[in-house]
Every structure is written in C-alpha cells, then in structure tokens.
Chain A
C-alpha cells in the first residue's frame, strides 16, 4: 500500500487544462499544448516545493492543520510576495463547476459592497488569551475532573464490557507494572520479565472523589426534584458530561431502585423523571451502558408493562410514560443487542408472552404492544399483525359489551388507537393498494374498517412527504431549554472575557469542590431525529434465551450508600406527606421479571 501511495506521489501533477484555464484568466488566449505541458510540470513542482516549506511552518507553529499563513510564510521564504488578504482560519471551500467540456474548481470571491461592511455592526471582539491551571496528575494518578479527558473512552468501555478478559485498562496496567517493577527491582531483577507476562485483571475499585460525590448528589436531587429548570440542567449534564463513567454504577442503581420503589407507590411523576435520566445516560456519547443493562432494562420494562403506574389510572396519562419507555427500550435494543446477549429477542419474547396471556390487564397489554411496536416494522409485521383479529375481538368485547369498568374501557380505547397508529403505516407498505373496507374486515376483524381509513390516511401522507423529503421524515423533538452556564470550563466558550489566570494551589490538595453544574460548551437547543422509513436490518428473533440468566450475571461492584441519601431527598421533595418507603417488596410490579 505504501508503494502505491508513493507511486501516486511520483505521478501527481496538474493537468494541462489547468494551465489553459489559468492562462485564459489572465488574458493569454491560445497556449500551445507543449507549453502547457511544460508549464504544468514546472508549476506542480513549485507547488510541491512550497507545500513542503509550508509544512515546516506548520510543524513549528505546533499545529496539525496547514493554514494559509503557512503558505504565505513559505512564499516569503522563497522571496515571493505572499497572497495578501487571503486569510482563513478554517477550511477553504472550493466550488466546482463544469461546462463546455471543462471541469473547474474555483474559490468563490464575492464582490463586496463597501458600505455593507461599514454598516454592519462590528463582530464581537474575540476572547483574549488566558491561562488556566488544573491538575493533570496528582502523584501519578489522574484526577477525574472536567478539565481532564474521561478516564475511559467509549470504545474502551465497549471493549471492556464485551470482551472483559482481553482488556486491561491503561491506568491500571501502569499501576500493575509499577508494582511489578518495584517487586522485581529488589533482588531478582532477571525475573522481571516473567512478571510482565502475568496479567491479571485487577479488581476495580469504585472510589468516588469528593467532587464526584457532590456532583452525584446534586444531579440526582435535581433529576427527581421539583424544579423543572434544574432538572433540565441536570439531564443536560448527564447527557453531555464526558466524565461520568466512574459514576455510572451509581446512576444505574439509583434508577433501578427508584423505579422499584416508585412503581409500588404509583408515583408517575418520579417514574417519568427516572426514565428521562435513562434517556440522558443513553444520549451521552462518552458512555457505554452495556455493563449496566441488567439494572436498567428491568427498570425500563417495568415502566412499560406495569399494571399500574399512577394513583388514578383513569385520569393520569401513564400511557405517555409507557410510550416513552418503550422507545427507550427500542433504542437500547438497537444499540446493545448482540448475538451474545440477545436482548432484542429476549425482550420480544417477554412482551409477546404476556400479551398472549388472556388475563393480562389492558395497561400491561398496552405496554407490551407499545414495546413491540417500537422495535420496528418487521416486528409489527411478524408479531402484531397476525394478532389483530384476536385483539380486535377483545377490544370489541370491552367497547360494545356490558360496561365492566371505566378503566377497562379507557385501556381498550388506548390499545385500539395504539394498534391503529402503528399498524397502519406498516400495512400501508405491505398491502397492495385498493383499500377495501370489507376486505379489511375479513382480514383484521373488528379493527378492519378503522385500519382501512388509517391506512388510506397514511398513504396520502406518505405520498405528500415523499414530495417534500425523500423517504425520510424529520421530526423535531421538543426543544430542550437552553442552558447558560456560569462556570467556564476548559471547553468554555462562555469563559471570562478578561484575561484571567487561576493560580495553581501551592499545596498538593485537591482543587475546590466542583460545582454541580458542569460546563456546557454549546447547548444543543433542538434535536433532529431522522427516522428512516425503510425497513432496516431485521432483528435476530430466532434465538430465545432466558433473560434473567445473563442480565443478572454481572453485578457492578459498588456500594449503594449514596442511594439512600437521594431517595430520601426526593421523597421529601415530592411527597412530604408520605413516609419513606424504601423496603416494600416490589414483587407485584415486577412480576414480569
């Protein structure tokens, strides 16, 4: 490969057409082919020479990116006048044009009206250079503070959780070798090599620094507290902060315990908050949750299928929570399902099993269907569509039969609309066009006619959208409140405007406790989710395995000492009248598990 590259280097030179184009641009009309060839070789050589010199300037400028200034400096070195006014910090976009059998790349230079420039308000003065100090390492150990990179990058977390025996963390490895050395350095030096071979995965200790503990407390309190603004801030932090890896076991335990407790208490609001935390954790690009799924998935599934999630099932909108949790489930299936853990197939199996059960209540039924439906059109097609007739009959029995209870009726109603919503789009795709009410009735039973109208609606909508966007739909989720953060971190574009300097503490103590609001460089105000309508890769549904055995096989080590504190506080926040219920037997809501 290196050879190929080298050969390319050898042969690269500008095409003669470039010479012609350039000649024309300066007014030389007819340039002979020979002169063009000679020129292009000469020009290519000179350009390469200048590029080589410019690289020198880049290296000495301690940069990775070649800038226009480097080229200017290289030109100056050759006693050539540099290009004035051609400054750009960033990538220079070249435009492409073709016509008359020619292809042309050019740099767009707009004519600028001077008065426009004069009249535009001055841009903000760029921030002045400032110095900021932090500890990169304290006696050989790198503190996990926002100024330092996350201790374990996502890739490594992934490898660690999927192939736990292969990987030894670099930090731990270092410590290991250091210890090995200090032992080997004593009398037997020759055996030092043998020691290097034995690589045991050291027991990982989960010590949180004081700042981390404070952060954890602040975040969990804010997440389940009463102040919505604070919660948004906290969730934002969870979703973006790169240094949460260490705290992940705590967070997952917090969520699973929280769900356990609040399902029993039918505290809908808290369950929603906890699910939002799960969502935020999943959104964090630096975290890989695989290791903690055994705690998170039961919690999420509980929120999908639990019989009762709120105190007044007839009034409260617990359906939204089920939908939300179902989406979370689908997302985690998509991200973490592998051939070894078979999450998707096991989840599917669980949902189907309880759906098929006749005694299942409408709430659970709704959750199962929602959970399945979110897994994608393939799942709908293979698992939900065949059962439409049966489900329709059951709904009919509730709707048209004797009034059993209001709750059942509402439940049936929701299941019906859910089925219609999800199935319509799928049917619209797989069923050939003429939509006949009667045909639908024979195929799908009670729900047939309603499906038919939904399908027709879906078809027209799809046609409309196809005109607007090509097969993808853009949905805009609810815009997150923008966070303005007073702390300026390393990444802080919101840093102080004056040149400031933070002194290094003279002693080797920890820096001041870290405030609960970590720095946030760019608040992502809106989020676009592109949903591809085409059916993606179908999931592996053949393999069914017992869910519990694997998910519960690896518990993270770590104490639960902090969970009490926060659970305590969240209960205080929301339900001052209620007594603290930490130990009720959560068997009933988790019966599915």
Chain B
C-alpha cells in the first residue's frame, strides 16, 4: 500500500501546483501538506496528523509535561522555534498562517496550519483538525469525472464483484462531496450531489438529506453526521479478489484522488473466499459507518444464564411443588432436553456467578421467585398452533402524550411516562396502590406484630393510580425494578429518576446525561441500571451511586434504546446510527457490533435463554441476531412503520412485535432459530444467508383500532399484554 501511495504522490504534486494560483492562503498551505503527507517517511500521514492534533490540544491546555512525554515517545523532533511560533499563533496572532508556510519542516507546517485555523476564532479546535483533513487535492470539476469513471469501471466488472465494489459508491460519494464543500466549491458540490445522489442505496436517504442541506464550509462545524463520517472510518467488507481488482484499476488509471479517499477515510476489511452477493451485502449494510469489523465481533460473550439460586419451596401440596422443582430450569431453556439436565451444572457459556457483583436475594425476592415458579407451572406452552391471547390496555385521553410504558414482571403494575413530564402508575390487579404512612404515624404502630407490613401502609391513600411529579420534560423511558419497589424514569430534562413505589416519591435524580435520556432499563437482578441518550453515551449506574459506574461510548449517534442481558453481564444498546452494540458490564468494552438496520433502532429484546437478540427499527423490520457468533440470523418483514416494542414469550417460542402501524405481530421464533443452528458455514465466514421466510414465520397479525402499540409484555403465564394510547 505504501508503495502505491508513493507512486501516486508524483501526480498528486503536479495537480497541486496547478491549482495553487487559484487557491487562497489555505489552499496554498494545504497543497504543501499534501506533499508533506505523501512524502513523510515511516508513519502514515493520518497517524501523524492525529498525533500532532493531540499535541496541539495538549499545548493549548498548558499540559506541557504531557507534550514532552508524547513527543519523546512518538519520536518527534525536540521543541523548536517553529513550535513556539505556532504556540503564539494559537494564542491569537493572525499572521501565523504565513509564518508556518515559510518554516516548511515536517511537523511545524502541520501545526501551524491547524493553529492558524484555530486562530480564525473557533472554539472547537479538535473539530477543525478533523475537518482540515479535507484539504485540496484535486481539481473540483474533475471529481465528477473520477466518480463516473469509477462507476463505469464497477459497472463493467464481473457480476460477482460488482455487488461488493458497489459498496464503495456511498462512502466515496459522501467524502468527495464533503471535500468539495470544505474547499468552498459550492456549485461543484451541488452539481456533484445532484448528479450522483440518485445512485445511492435508498436506505441512505436520511443521511443524504442531512448531507444535502450542507453546502457551506461553516455548516460543517458542529454537524454531527459529518463528524461521524470524519471521526470513524467507513468499514467495508470486500473479498480479496474484488479488492485486487479495484486496486489494479485505480493504479492503471492513476486515479489517486479516489485512492486517497479510500486510504484515508475507508477501512476495507478484506476476507478470503467467495465475494458476497448483493442480498448478503444489503442485509448487513445501512449503518452510518458501514459494517462492523469482523474482529469487533470476535470477543467471547458469555451469553448463558446464571444459575438460579437454590430456593427451598414450602412443600404444602407436594404434588405440584415436586413438579416445580423440575420445572425450574424451564425458565432457562426448556426446549432442549440437553439443557434440562443442566439445572445443577454451570452452563459453559454462562459467566461465572461472581463475574459482576450482584445483590443478595432478600426474603421478599425469594418469595417472589417461588411465586414465579408456581406461575410458571401454569404457563401455557406456546407454539404455532397455540398462539397466545393478547390483552390490550388502551390509554384513553392521553392526547398523544403517552411516551413510554412498562409492566412489572408479575404484571401487577403498569407505569406510563407522559409528554407532560408526569409518570403514572396503575395497579392492574384489585390490589390498590397505597403509600407508606408518614414517619410520625409509623412510630405508633406495633413493630412486633405479624402483619407489620400491612400496618405500615396508609389505607387512606389507596387508589388505583398514582401520579409521580418531578421531571421537567417528556418522560421517554421507564422501567420497574424486578422487586417492584422502585421505578426508573428517564426524561428529556437529562435526568434519570428513581422513584419509590412504597412512598411514591422521588428518591434520586441521576444526573450525567446533559441531553435527553431516551431510554433506561433496570438489570434483571436489580441494583444496576443502564441509560442512554442524545449524548451518544450509554451509562451504567448502580442505584446507590450518584455517578455512573461505566460509560459505554462508541455509538455515532443517539443511543435510542437500552436493554440488559438476562444474566446482567451485558448491555445492548440500539442507536440512531443504525447499529446495535453489546457492551460488557465488567470492563465496559464493546463486544458486539451489529449492523443491518436501515433506520434508528427503537426496540431490543433478548431471548429468555440469552442466546439471541431481536431488534426493531424505524424501517419496520425485525432483525434477529446470534450473540455467540455475532451474526445476523433472521429478518422479519411485515410491519409498515416503526417497531416500538419487541418481546419474547417466556419460553422463547414466540416473538411479539408491536408497531406504530397499529398492529401486533407474532412470529415463530423457534423456527427462526432452529433453521439457523444447523448452518455452520455462516458461522465460519461471517456471512449471512438470509432466506426470505418472513411470511412463513409470521403467525398472526392483530390490528388495533388506531392505537399504536408501544409496549408488549408476556405475563408469567404467557398471556401477552399490549399497550398503546388511543388516537381518535
């Protein structure tokens, strides 16, 4: 690759000289850079550039020691007069641009350039460093020629390579357009966009819309989408053969312009073997930054479930309870006989019990577990021939204000978050909601009595619903704690609040996200919870810490939904960048990146056995993922609008999806997963062969009466509860 670059550099220089007279001071500078970059020995240009940018940042913040250390480690020349000069220019002298030019030199010219841009009065130096990479490298009118040349080439190659190489179109298009815009060739940029935007895949339409509104260099600052393109390399997966073909073509044509973009902004993940088909590529592409790198999905994930704690059941009627003992592993994985015997053994795929510290079970938790097991024995076995009944809870008079809903695991409480900042809790059982008595009254009661738990409740406050006030913006996420004592809510005001369902008051406001928090979810074991928001960061919290324990950053756009793995060791986040990431709670690493959705992801669900993940997005599709192998294993098409809710039945046999198109759909999850498990080939190569069997897997479609389905929940007996606000 280095050789190629060197060869291309000569032509590069010639072009630069040609354009020099027409370009302004910046252009002049940049032309210099082009030469410097391409001839700099040893390290690649972009690396050095980043390094210098970091140096620049450090110096600006007066971190002189760090500057020294970094410089020593990177082997850059010792502090020189040039650097001082640029330092002063960083402080505000406008003439630095010229001086930097005269100094020449490897590092100094780069530094002076960045600092001169800084001196132009910007408050985001790092942004400028990033943007400055779009320096002038070619003749703007020739961009169209380059692009259409490549287009012609790709259209002429063999069919098997064409699909793979077509992936190049979109990233190249974007970067060439941005380059034009950055260099103030507004009309050329516009013409370029108009000519080629129609060729792009339809699922990039949203991004293209953002791009189209961007026509000035000034707009590029602070534009998130643009920053995503710059800060991350667009990842493409291309087979070796196709790649060779492309490389040869570009060398023959001396098409250094496109080659430079590929080098700088694209990450090409080359694999050996058959080129992929169009369908395979389409299935995986669509995210903001291309596909996930293959090695990103190689880390081991302990997707197994934790061992259930041993609980002695009160053997009042032994017959039923005896069944319970055996029925216990049902929750884990009843469908496989091999799993049935594992109830005592540790699942090899499960994390160790103490991998992350989990709270101890309280007596009340144990009682709840017993209740759970009792209920589980009465559970209906679902299947294609035995569909669940669906009970629909409609919110009336919500005036389009219902934004989030959650059920408790035992389906006794339902909570709704509203656009008017309130959180409302309803009791769905005849048991009314009661507050705990005030402290003064609590003093009066007899603490030794057996029914002390009853006595502490204030009968006067009994009501079917309670309203929780505290947020100052729409409540977008809501989640009950597994023990039903707490409720979490996340809101536009940037906070996550923890409410007590004993006193119906707010206990803690977790501040950290300074922007709207789109979703929050309690760990299935309690104590931990995760939240994600507009700041593109998902945070892991513990209820007793006011600061987050982990920050999961890596998404390129808003984190739109968050979900805990059933074993509490992992967190899945879906994002507007159209990727799903799986994070390890232990070390905060991103262990899986799933790409394939063509719109922001709004729903996630883990299968009860922890092996699979289902995701739903605005594109109306449900995608199924194998967590262990890091592969897409299914696509369920049918919905016509955003999917807001996904849920597996308690045994994992049925997947229910609820959507904005007012329907609940049921899918045969067993079949979807079974089809896959035999296919070893996909696991080895990382390719997906998706068969279009959505119609076969669709078990039922149930339309509601103009009520978008925004939450689904399977009761412990496998009755499906759906909710939504009625829109007259």
Q: Is the CB of B389 within 8 A of A138?
A: yes
Q: Does A62 contact B (CB under 8 A)?
A: yes
Q: Is B522 an interface residue (CB 8 A)?
A: no
* B80 CB → nearest A CB, Å: 40
> Cβ of A49 < 8 Å from any Cβ of B?
yes
B-contact bits for A30-57, CB 8 A (1 contact / 0 none): 0000000000011011001100100011
Q: Which residues of chain B (670-728) have a CB below 8 Å from chain A?
A: 695-696, 698-708, 710, 722, 725-726, 728
Q: Which of A41, A62, A177, A493 contacts B710 (CB 8 A)?
A: A62
Given contacts A45-B213, A131-B393, contact A61 B419 (CB under 8 A): yes
Cβ-closest chain B residue relative to A62: B710
Looking at the assembled complex, report how far the CB atom of A587 sits from the nearest CB atom of chain B, in whole angstroms.
46
Q: What's the minimum C-beta distance from A198 to chain B, rounded to whole angstroms? A: 15
The distance in angstroms between the C-alpha atoms of A174 and B701, with both chains bound, is 8
Residues in A whose Cβ lies below 8 Å from that of B402: 62, 129
The residue that A127 contacts in the complex, of B384, B397, B703, with Cβ under 8 A, is: B397
CB <8 Å contact, A130 and B403: no
- A554 contacts the other chain (CB 8 A): no
Of the candidates B215, B385, B428, B600, the one whose C-beta lies within 8 Å of that of A503 is: B428
B212 touching A65 by the CB < 8 A rule? Answer: no
| Residue pair B205, A149 in contact (C-beta under 8 Å) | no
B518 interface residue (CB < 8 Å to A): yes
Q: Does A63 contact B (CB under 8 A)?
A: yes
Most buried by A among B387, B396, B728: B396
Interface residues of B in 368-401 (CB under 8 A from A): 384-401
Judged by a CB distance under 8 angstroms, whether B414 is at the interface is yes
**Chain A residues whose CB sits within 8 angstroms of the CB of B602 once the complex forms:** 59
Taking a contact as CB atoms closer than 8 A, the residue among B474, B515, B600, B700 that contacts A137 in the complex is B700
Complex contact A135–B576 (CB within 8 A): no
When the two chains form their complex, are residues B213 and A137 in contact, meaning their CB atoms are under 8 A apart?
A: no
Q: Which of the candidate stretches A140-148, A275-283, A288-296, A399-407 sits at the interface with the other chain?
A: A140-148
Q: How far is the CB of B638 from chain A (nearest CB, A)?
A: 11
**A142→B702 contact, CB < 8 A:** yes
Residues from chain A with Cβ under 8 Å of B708 in the complex: 62
**Interface presence of B309 (CB below 8 A):** no
Complex partner residue of B518 from A60, A134, A490, CB under 8 angstroms: A60
Across-interface contacts of A181 in B (CB, < 8 A): 384, 696
For B223, what are the chain A residues with a Cβ–Cβ distance below 8 Å?
A: 49
B534 close to chain A: CB less than 8 A: yes
Contact of B414 with A131 in the complex, beta carbons under 8 Å? yes
B390 to A129, Cβ gap below 8 A?
no
Give complex CA distance A11, B394 in Å: 43
- Interface pair A192/B197, CB less than 8 Å apart: no
CA distance A566 to B400 in the complex (A): 44
Q: How far is the CA of A26 from the CA of B193 in the complex (A)?
A: 36
- Given the known interface contacts A6-B212, A132-B394, the answer about A504 and B428 at a Cβ–Cβ threshold of 8 Å is yes
Number of interface residues of B (CB under 8 A): 86
A9 → chain B, closest Cβ, in Å? 5
A363 to chain B, nearest CB (A): 47
Bitwise, B33-69 to A at CB < 8 A (1) or not (0) is: 0000000000000000000000000000000000000
Which one, A3, A61, A132, contacts B393 given CB within 8 A? Answer: A132
* Residue total for A at the interface (Cβ-Cβ under 8 A): 68
- Give a binary string over A153-180; 1 marks a CB under 8 Å from any B CB, 0 the rest: 0000000000000000010001001100
In the assembled complex, the CB of B160 is this many whole angstroms from the nearest CB of chain A, namely: 27
B699 touches A61 (CB 8 A): no
Closest to A496 in B: B396
Chain A residues near B700 (CB-CB < 8 A): 137, 140, 174
Most B CB within 10 A of own CB, among A42, A49, A65, A67: A49
Which of B429, B492, B696 has a CB less than 8 Å from the CB of A177? B696
Please, how many angstroms separate the alpha-carbon atoms of A60 and B426 in the complex? 22
Query: If A9-B209, A495-B397 touch, does A147 touch B392 (CB 8 Å cutoff)?
Result: yes
Asked if B664 is an interface residue, CB under 8 A from chain A, the answer is yes
Encode contact with B along A171-214: 1 for CB under 8 Å, 0 otherwise. Answer: 00010011001100100000010001000000000000000000
Are A135 and B464 neighbours in the complex by a CB distance under 8 Å?
no
- Tell whether, in the assembled complex, residue B392 and residue A133 are in contact, meaning their CB atoms are under 8 Å apart: yes
| B157 located at the interface, meaning its Cβ lies under 8 Å from any Cβ of chain A in the complex | no
A115 at the interface (CB under 8 A from B): no
- The verdict on A18 contacting chain B, using a C-beta distance below 8 Å, is no
The smallest C-beta distance from A524 to any residue of chain B, in angstroms, reads 16
- Complex formed: what's the CA distance from A63 to B727 in Å? 10
- Which residues of B in the span 409-444 have a Cβ within 8 Å of any Cβ on A? 414, 416, 418-419, 424, 426-430
- CB of B660 within 8 A of CB of A129, answer no
Q: A136 at the A/B interface (Cβ < 8 Å)?
A: yes
Task: Evaluate contact between A59 and B600: CB separation under 8 angstroms.
Answer: yes
Residues of B within 8 A of A147 (CB): 392, 394, 705
Instruction: Give bound CA distance, A157 to B392, whole Å.
Output: 26
Q: Flag whether A64 is at the interface (Cβ < 8 A).
A: yes
**A77 to B513 Cα, complex, angstroms:** 12
> Are B391's CB and A133's CB within 8 A?
yes
Chain A positions within 8 Å of B398 at CB level: 129
Q: 1/0 contact trace for A1-12 toward B, CB 8 Å?
A: 011001101110
18 contacts between A and B (CB under 8 A): A41-B216, A48-B213, A60-B403, A64-B660, A73-B473, A77-B516, A129-B396, A132-B394, A133-B394, A136-B391, A137-B388, A140-B386, A147-B394, A178-B385, A185-B384, A503-B428, A504-B393, A504-B428
4 additional contacts (CB under 8 A) given A133-B391, A137-B388, A142-B703: A136-B704, A137-B664, A192-B696, A521-B728
Q: Which 8 A-B pairs have the closest CB atoms?
A: A140-B387, A3-B198, A136-B390, A136-B392, A48-B213, A137-B390, A127-B397, A10-B212
- Interface residue ranges, B against A (CB under 8 Å): 190, 193-194, 197-198, 202, 205, 208-210, 212-216, 218-219, 223, 384-403, 414, 416, 418-419, 424, 426-430, 464-465, 473-474, 476, 492, 515-516, 518, 534, 558, 560, 576, 600, 602, 618, 642, 644, 660, 664, 695-696, 698-708, 710, 722, 725-726, 728
A residues bordering B, Cβ < 8 Å? Answer: 2-3, 6-7, 9-11, 41-42, 44-45, 48-49, 52, 56-57, 59-65, 67, 69, 73, 77, 89, 126-140, 142, 147-149, 170, 174, 177-178, 181-182, 185, 192, 196, 490-493, 495, 499-501, 503-504, 508, 521
